[in-house]
A and B are shown apart, each in its own frame.
Chain A
Amino acid sequence: MIGGLFVYNHKGEVLISRVYRDDIGRNAVDAFRVNVIHARQQVRSPVNMIARTSFFHVKRSNIWLCAVSKKNLNAALVFQFLYKMLEVMGSYFGKINEENIKNNFVLIYELLDELLDYGYPQNTDTGVLKTFITQQGVKSQTKEETTKITNQVTGQIAWRREGIKYRRNELFLDVVESVNLLMSPQGQVLSAHVSGRVLMKSYLSGMPECKFGINDKVIVESRRAADSSSAAGATKSGHIAIDDCQFHQCVKLSKFDTEHAISFIPPDGEFELMRYRNTKDISLPFRVIPLVREIGRTKMEVKVVVKSNFKPSLLAQKVEVRIPTPLNTSGVQVICMKGKARYKASDNAIVWKIKRMGGMKEWQLSAEIDLLNATDKAKKWTRPPISMNFEVPFAASGFKVRYLKVFESKLNYSDHDVIKWVRYIGKSGLYETRC
């Protein structure tokens, strides 16, 4: 029961304001601006109670998106909705920034009418929305078409309309993982986890039913138990333990519960099939070895070694190491063998960029930092961790797609006719090493 939804720019000016319920007054708009956006101290909590009204906000670049409610409602639901809404807007007009919002504000109001009804989330699926909210000129729909849309939207498979036809049946599967790490200076892993997503782009005709197989321990083992006769001798290795996962609404959860099979009729186009998280047996693509030496009060020496820890045949891209410098730095000299390194004063850090890096390599950077005598000696530099960014072509968690089968009984194409593409991308999340 979201009472209202506001979008602000970074100055706190209201770009979009949509009120769904009477209990939210005009002053709620100002209350959020005054107490959160313009607050003296930065507000870090995403949920704020102001005068018995709850404000839930997310920030995307310079845009504040804020849902308001007087009721005691499920906060997770609100945030789920807000992120969905960002996704929907993104798929309609690309990057979410002030200009795009201003340019598309009629569209946004139209979307808001569909997304929420009297404050209850309705339909947030981009594919479905695009069937009846379009940015093209209004084309008059025949009666049949309207009934078709109505039937589809209210029907059992709301996310896919009937009668889709492609000459080439094709589907793309991306496994995108972000690796998060916190490591001690001695190389001990303090915390590490991978959060992954399986993105799918389907161009299939008719109403195909898909089956998706992954190397999750539970699924594999149950499968094995089902036909124990055939696969008795299979090895145990190659299975990962997924901590938790969630699926797109098209996945039949009842089947997953009983048979541990992922079966679904995919929406047309792009969608996120599943999301998972993994904390065990992560293969860390990189290792950072820092060495910081303070020489007197006006000088400091930093040495950083980066080791890549994957098959030599693979290539990591967009590798970037960020080495924070003290706040009283007055000059930096950097030497590195590979890549480019530069002192960025605006970020208080040395940024070392390496375009490409093969597996099992070891590169080094050393820097000399001059310091200015601070008047206030009580404050010591806190030594923030060294952080890293990269992109590698494998899944750090060991996640593997075992099969993806397509069945379409009515039309005359079979699983073999479908062209399938699978790709693994490992990205860095918060990948930090203390120094």
Chain B
Amino acid sequence: VKDSMRGLAVFISDIRNCKSKEAEEKRINKELANIRSKFKGDKALDGYQKKKYVCKLLFIFLLGNDIDFGHMEAVNLLNSNKYTEKQIGYLFISVLISENNELMRLVQQNLKNDLASRNPVHVNLALECIANIGSKEMAEMFAPEIPKLLVMGDAGDTVKQSAALCLLKLFRTAPEMVPIGDWTSRVIHLLNDQHMGVVTAAVSLIEALVKRNPDDFKGCVSLSISRLARIVTSSYTDLQDYTYYFVPAPWLSVKLLRLLQNYPPPEDTTVRNRLAECLETILNKAVEPPKSKKVQHSNAKNAVLFEAISLIIHMDSDPSLLVRACSQLGQFLSNRETNLRYLALESMCLLATSEFSHDAVKRHQETVVTALKSERDVSVRQRAVDLLYAMCDRSNAEEIVGEMLTYLETADYSIRGELVLKIAILAEKYASDYTWYVDTILNLIRLAGDFVSEEVWYRVIQIVINREDVQAYAAKTVFEALEAPACHENMVKVGGYILGEFGNLIAGDARSSPSTQFQLLHGKFHLCSPPTRALLLSAYIKLVNLFPEIREDIIAVLESDANLRNSNVEIQQRASEYLSLARNSTQDVLATVLEEMPPFPERESSILAQLRKKKPAVEDAIRARGEKQQQRPASGAADGAAASAAPTAATPTSGGGGGVKLQGDIAGAESNTDSDLLGLDFGGSAPAAAAGGGGAGGGSVDLLSSILDVGVSSSSSSSAAPSAASGASAQRKTVVVGAGASGSIVGEENWHKFVCKNSGVLYENDILQVGVKCDYQQSSGRIVVYYGNKTPAPLAQFASVINLPDSSLTNQLGIQVKPVGDRVGASEQVNEVITVDCMAEFSACPLLNIRFVYSGVAQSITLKLPLTINKFMQSSEMDSATFFQHWKQLSQPEQECQKIFQAKFPMDAETTKTKILGFGFSLLSNIDSNPANFVGAGIVQTKSGNIGSLFRLEPNQQAQMYRLTVHSIKPGVSKRLCELLETQL
């Protein structure tokens, strides 16, 4: 009776009955004064009274009032042996005592005592309190202790459960404090515990720990699969307390499935089959009629199902499961529950990226399209758009883009921008007919001009310029679009550019005569913003070139004060320059200066980059597939990109200086957006490009990357590099030294890239960029090493030394160096030419040691020179008979080298092909019976003779493994080739 705390109940009901805030405040003040006088009073309070008053204080605190006394009394309660008193004490402390309170010491002492207690209830209270406070200090203090409780043999279930959750909390606040020890392996076995609560808590903990070091917990995979199997096969009556609305242990199942997503599919087939069975059972259960009409039942069931599906997607290995998952999701698409539809669409997005289920997803296209039209929830519509984007391929592109366009008219403003980008990308990516592409984009500008970013219309212009077959059509369509009474500014931009370039192609038609074209454009002139006006002026001067008969009209426009004396400098300058160009030059000069734009270099669409920036996660997954499908060797295409940009900009400069600008509009802006959107910091390069053929410009180290092929991204930087600037004064210090490498080797991962290609950046830090470009002819090669100084200060005492780590290399390789000067100026670039002769086959790799002094500190960098035996290999073609003949000849044990290894990169046939060709082997088709296998041949050429080599590569998609066999005349060669090729796959 005494434990009922009547005073507290009365107080709470008083508070509840208060009519106003003021009344409540008064009551609280009264109570606080009462408690203060009680705590102050000389009469000692007994545990019950203390508990009651601490409880009241807690209640008052939770009502939003400050409490600044009573902490001591709460800590005193911890010493009590009564459960309720201890509990209230801990509750007060975890709610009210801040981390840096001086009482914390006392609290920690109490916690220690309780953790060591024999009474499991006390241990539990302490664990709960530690977790509730969960501070860094707590982690420091207790993280090493708690694991012991967790794996202690005789600890009770509840203690284990609390210990696991407490440790999880501490791990989240301070991962570094949680020790790694032998307990980790024993934690896994908690998955086998009898008590479901312990298992649930343990799974949460393990999932967090796995993220830190997955290898330590590999054992949990099979354990959790067997646990999962036991749950899914059990009927809902088996698990009693852990059955939630007829679903057996839904939380545990979800956690287990999530845990499994941290690992690749199990290698052991029995385990894998078991997992597959589990997943199948879950999918089966989804189809069963529901055991209850309650929403909790279906929620729990679907939670497990969705987690299972994401595991299936994660494993991405079992086609039948993927297809089943897809059809199951398809049913959800028309479910009444909005959340389900959302989740279904989201998961389908991921399914669409898997090669197995892509087609299955495509079957639901119609449902998705209707969802897009009839869905009320905007977030679901958004997902539907994502899914349409993900499921789009060449076969359905036109249809999907059409649907998206119709949807665009009614779409919410929040998703229009993204939708526009997606349409633009799909239209470009899957355009088989470029007139369709042009139509689509122009439609896009017409429907949602405000949301069409610069990139989109840059892109359409690039494509029109690069494709002769659509130019006339584009000009005609643009002309028609401009005839509309109101058109968007972006449309004017596109129109201006295209008519300026290709207006002549439609001038034959009386309806679009030169003067009509000009009038049409000029009719929009006064409505446009200054940048568009500037662009239109450029278009006009182009029209002067195309149609001399309207020259006078255009001169009149240029001459008008509105342009010639415009407050905008850009417009003013263009007007005056174009005016003198139009007035003074002959037709020939005009024709040269205002020649049609040269084709743009192919490059990755900048739109794609922008979309990726908007939604990184989903987009990456989709892009990964896109690349797999497209198989476009990105690096090759961009080779000339930058190089070509500079000369085109430079050519017409000699004329009036104005002609450059039109190119600058696009090229400059392009490089700007490119570098920005891809998130690369190529500071200074964009302005340099925009300045046209200005030449020297900033001349930063980035120039280096323009010469080299570093991949698509860097191609934006462009400028004529004054690379030869520092050739003259030469105090050569580059020496070839025998043995004795010094310093650790850096840039190892870049080196691997060079096995299959010949140019790129070998090493880069804040100070220096080292690029390499090499070419090989039979047994000799030339390696040009570029050193770029990235700093604003010169690098002094610059010297490079080539070390041969293996003494035998001196005989195998003949290396000659044409060294560089001893100084690399600020933002300057120098190159060093190394000529190499291959005397005999070699396996070691020469090292390049670079020394210099930067801002008074001596620096030394040691790099591996990308010089490998396969560089001297030439591919050779042969028919099947010869191949097998050679293969057999070279099948002695020391001549053969075979390796089985895990794939390091996604197993994609096309990329593999590119890599093998880059490596130096030929690819021979129709030789191996299995078309998935690769076979080929190559001849390593050395001064001492040729070494023929053959190879066979057998990929295993299921296991993500390769078997590589190399046969070669010389045993060392086959081994080395095998090693090298292994690093690339």
Contacts and interface: CB of A to CB of B under 8 A. Distances in A.
Interface string A365-395: 0000010111110010000000000000000
Nearest to A379: B68
A372 B19 CA distance: 30
Interface residues of A, number: 18
A376 B68 contact: yes
Interface stretch (A85-93, A287-295, A340-348, A427-435): A340-348
B19 A62 contact: yes
Contacts of B20: 10, 62
Contacts of A348: 29, 33
Given A62-B19, A374-B69, A330 B37 contact: yes
B72 A375 contact: yes
B103 interface: yes
Contacts of B27: 346
B40 A370 contact: yes
B36 A329 contact: yes
Point out which of B21, B29, B70 has the most chain A C-beta atoms below 10 A from its C-beta.
B29
B71 interface: yes
Interface in B631-668: none
B900 to A, nearest CB: 65
Contacts of B37: 330-331
Contacts of A330: 33, 36-37, 39-40
A347 B23 CA distance: 10
Interface in B10-68: 19-21, 26-27, 29-30, 32-34, 36-37, 39-40, 68
Contacts of A228: none
Contacts of B68: 327-328, 374-376, 379
Contacts of B72: 375
B905 to A, nearest CB: 54
Interface string A317-334: 000000000011111000
A10 B30 CA distance: 22
Contacts of B70: 375
Q: Chain A at the B interface: mostly helix, strand, loop or mixed?
A: loop
B651 to A, nearest CB: 58
Nearest to A375: B71
Contacts of B69: 328, 372-375
A328 B32 CA distance: 9
Interface string A5-18: 00000100000000
A62 B22 CA distance: 10
B40 A345 contact: no
Point out which of B21, B69, B70, B101 has the most chain A C-beta atoms below 10 A from its C-beta.
B69
B36 A346 contact: no
Interface residues of B, number: 21
Interface string A270-291: 0000000000000000000000
A345 B30 contact: yes
A42 to B, nearest CB: 8
B950 to A, nearest CB: 77
A359 B71 CA distance: 50
Contact of A372 (B21, B39, B101): B39
B40 A372 contact: yes
Contact of A347 (B26, B34, B71): B26
Point out which of A62, A346, A376 has the most chain B C-beta atoms below 10 A from its C-beta.
A346
Contacts of B32: 327, 345
Contacts of A329: 33, 36
B39 A345 contact: no
A227 to B, nearest CB: 56
Nearest to B101: A375
Contacts of B21: 10
Contacts, number: 50
A372 B71 CA distance: 12
Contacts of A376: 68
A330 B37 CA distance: 4
B36 A328 contact: yes
Point out which of A328, A347, A373, A375 has the most chain B C-beta atoms below 10 A from its C-beta.
A375
Point out which of B26, B30, B33 has the most chain A C-beta atoms below 10 A from its C-beta.
B33
A427 to B, nearest CB: 22
Contacts of B34: 345
A372 B30 contact: no
Contacts of A327: 32, 68
Nearest to A373: B69
B23 to A, nearest CB: 9
Given A10-B20, A328-B68, A372 B103 contact: no
B898 to A, nearest CB: 71
B19 A345 contact: no
A345 B29 contact: yes
Given A328-B69, A330-B36, A346 B29 contact: yes
B39 A347 contact: no
A62 B29 CA distance: 20
A375 B39 CA distance: 13
Contacts of A62: 19-20
A375 B70 CA distance: 8
A374 B19 CA distance: 31
Nearest to A374: B68
B311 to A, nearest CB: 42
B109 to A, nearest CB: 18
A347 B32 CA distance: 11
A372 B26 contact: no
B36 A375 contact: no
Interface string B508-552: 000000000000000000000000000000000000000000000
Contacts of A346: 26-27, 29-30, 33
A140 to B, nearest CB: 43
A331 B32 CA distance: 12
Contacts of B30: 345-346
Point out which of A328, A345, A370 has the most chain B C-beta atoms below 10 A from its C-beta.
A345
Contacts of B26: 346-347
Interface in A28-59: none
Nearest to A348: B29
A346 B69 CA distance: 18
Contact of B103 (A328, A331, A373, A375): A375
Nearest to B36: A330
Nearest to B28: A346
A27 B29 CA distance: 37
A16 B729 CA distance: 95
B832 to A, nearest CB: 67
Contacts of A375: 68-72, 101, 103
Interface in B531-581: none
A328 B101 CA distance: 19
A10 B19 CA distance: 8
A238 B33 CA distance: 51
Nearest to A378: B68
Nearest to B40: A330
A171 to B, nearest CB: 40
B101 to A, nearest CB: 8
B29 A372 contact: no
A379 B66 CA distance: 11
Contacts of A347: 26, 29
Nearest to B39: A372
Interface in B58-116: 68-72, 101, 103
A325 to B, nearest CB: 9
A354 to B, nearest CB: 23
Contacts of B29: 345-348
6 contacts: A10-B19, A330-B40, A345-B29, A345-B33, A346-B27, A375-B69
Interface of B: 19-21, 26-27, 29-30, 32-34, 36-37, 39-40, 68-72, 101, 103
Given A330-B40, A375-B68, A379-B68, 8 more contacts: A62-B20, A329-B36, A346-B27, A346-B33, A347-B29, A372-B69, A375-B69, A376-B68
| The 10 residue pairs across chains A and B that have the minimum distance between CB atoms | A345-B33, A330-B40, A346-B26, A330-B36, A346-B30, A376-B68, A375-B71, A345-B30, A374-B68, A372-B36
Interface of A: 10, 62, 327-331, 345-348, 370, 372-376, 379
